[in-house]
Amino acid sequence: MAKTEQSRQKKLAKKRSKEIAKRKRLAAEKNALRSVAGQIAASMRLPIDRCYAYASLMDDTEDDGAIGAVLVTRPIPDGRVVFACFLVDKACLGVKDAFARLVTPAQFSDHLDRLRSRSKLTKCDPSVAKKLVTDAVQWAAQFGLDPLGDYERTSRIWHDVDESQCEQTFRFGRNGKPCYIQGPHDSPQFIRRVMESLSQHAGEGNFDFTQQIDAAEGIEALFDAEGNPMEQDEMVLPDGDKILRIDHADD
């Protein structure tokens, strides 16, 4: 009897140990989803679901240095999706904003419908979207301009996408030169830094600067604390498109 009881106790202890380990694993996974890095890591188990871009970004018939958004979603096992957004500035800055959020498919669809009501979006292959974004970053880099927002972490959402599969080429700048379009929320310090970098790397007279257009600096509070879409004032982009602005929360 003693040996039987001892064996039973060992089995119970082993079972409790497994249950504790499972609870710890689930808690760790839940905590990881509170950060952008954790959200994107969770999304790596499944392929990219949807990919859109402002049509103006894809249209190179006019050398207008368009500004617009690239949107990418990737699902995670619990049914939600990681929604990544890159605000591409083809005129000068490359990527002017980047962020990722964890939302439900319905929440993303609601936001997509709101954008479609204001702007022309086009579905695109992830390789095309990634090439557009990375080419924009590389183009801006020659003028000493790094991508803004949470670009480094957000760009991991398509780490397994091969942009070399895209044969499309994109033009940047206006009339062959970078053109810094001052956004309504650009601080004096930021403006000075951009202008100094352009002067140093492009040279005086080799870039343009304009305050005539109410350009969007980023994308504002798309979702509240519960992940519900929020209504925001519109901002008009240089090509007539509209986008919302986001303030980054600490992750």
Model pLDDT, residue 215: 37
Model pLDDT, residue 31: 57
In degrees to the nearest 10, what's the CA dihedral of 19, 24, 29, 35? 170
Mean pLDDT on 78-105: 92
pLDDT score of 138 more than 70 = yes
pLDDT digits (tens, 9 = 90+) for 147-198: 999 999 999 999 999 999 999 999 999 888 999 988 877 888 999 999 999 9
pLDDT score of 239 more than 70 = no
- Chain Cα centroid distance, residue 150: 8
Name the band, by pLDDT with cuts 50, 70 and 90, for residue 111: confident
CA angle 156, 32, 223 (to 5 degrees): 75
Model pLDDT, residue 172: 93
Model pLDDT, residue 241: 37
Q: Who has greater pLDDT, 13 or 116?
A: 116
pLDDT score of 145 more than 80 = yes
Model pLDDT, residue 52: 94
pLDDT score of 248 more than 80 = no
Model pLDDT, residue 164: 92
**How high does pLDDT run on average in the chain?**
77
pLDDT digits (tens, 9 = 90+) for 31-55: 555 666 777 888 888 899 999 999 9
DSSP per residue, the chain: -HHHHHHHHHHHHHHHHHHHHHHHHHHHHHHHTTSHHHHHHHHTTS---EEEEEHHHH--SS----EEEEEEEEE-TTS-EEEEEEEEETTTTEEEEEEEEEE-HHHHHHHHHHHHHHS-EEE--HHHHHHHHHHHHHHHHTTT----SSHHHHGGGGTT--GGG-------SBTTB-EEE--TT--HHHHHHHHHHHHHHT-TTSSEEE-SS----S----B-TTS-B-----EE-TTS-EE---PPPP-
